[in-house]
A and B are shown apart, each in its own frame.
Chain A
């Protein structure tokens, strides 16, 4: 009984939490009034906008998600250094490449997370997604062995994302 009402009030707890935190950050305060006002918005906005979201995505493993963010942040730092070196080097030594990644992840939100991650980690930019959502086209600034990059992306980013998002 309690669960059902909770689901109705908070159809999307993670979204509510994010909205609440964003509200507090926007106001740059933790004053009691803003905490309450933010909470009200965090409950009302997901309810009002529910029809904009075609599918309700559930985060199955929030801990894995946080670990994933940690990994991505670390990779951004490392990859930045590598790409900075590539840019300062000679142009004709670069080996740009297009390659396709066969996707195992199926949820739209998961795919957008993966595509965003690929673009954020410097050195690779996601360029296109096939209509059937099975392949992601990626451009790499310097790929000595594109199959190695694909393997790393699948193992490092896709596997945890599959664990995190489940459609319901």
Chain B
């Protein structure tokens, strides 16, 4: 039973990471490509880490929770780096797809 749950979680994580990477590859401009990695780091890494917590908690004697730290640090650092990249991209005026709507004059 545990094996199935673990396999499901790892697969789910892998699928979301893959979709994030596909997004990074196929989306047309820089700002849209930024959205790809935010996915891979949240749900993708999240479910893989959840599988890790379950596996090490059930197969070893002690409860393993330090994976939570990985999630915590990712959740703090990923948006900051995305923000910095977007900010610098705006600064050097990287091309955006033509139909990007904007409320700026």
Q: Do A and B bind each other?
A: yes
CB distance from B71 to the nearest CB of A (A): 10
Interface SS of chain B: helix
B101 to A139, Cβ gap below 8 A? no
Chain A, interface size category, equals: 35 or more
Of A88, A120, A139, which contacts B78 at CB under 8 A? A120
From residue 57 to 75 of chain A, which have CB atoms closer than 8 A to chain B? none
Expressed in whole angstroms, the Cα–Cα distance for A156 and B89 within the complex equals 28
Q: How would residues 1 to 41 of chain A score, 1 for a CB under 8 Å from any chain B CB and 0 otherwise? A: 00000000000000000000010011111000000000000
A96 to B86, Cβ gap below 8 A? no
Q: Does B66 contact A (CB under 8 A)?
A: yes
Expressed in whole angstroms, the Cα–Cα distance for A146 and B36 within the complex equals 20
Chain B, interface size category, equals: 35 or more
A119 to B79, Cβ gap below 8 A? yes
Q: Which residues of B contact A (CB under 8 A)?
A: 16, 19-20, 22-23, 26-29, 31-32, 34-36, 38-39, 42-43, 46, 62, 64-66, 68-69, 72, 75-76, 78-80, 82-83, 86-87, 89-90, 96-97, 99-104
27 A–B contact pairs at CB < 8 A?
A25-B69, A76-B42, A77-B43, A80-B16, A80-B42, A84-B16, A87-B20, A87-B22, A87-B27, A87-B36, A88-B19, A96-B96, A96-B99, A97-B102, A98-B104, A99-B102, A117-B79, A119-B78, A119-B83, A123-B35, A125-B34, A126-B79, A127-B87, A128-B90, A139-B86, A141-B32, A143-B101
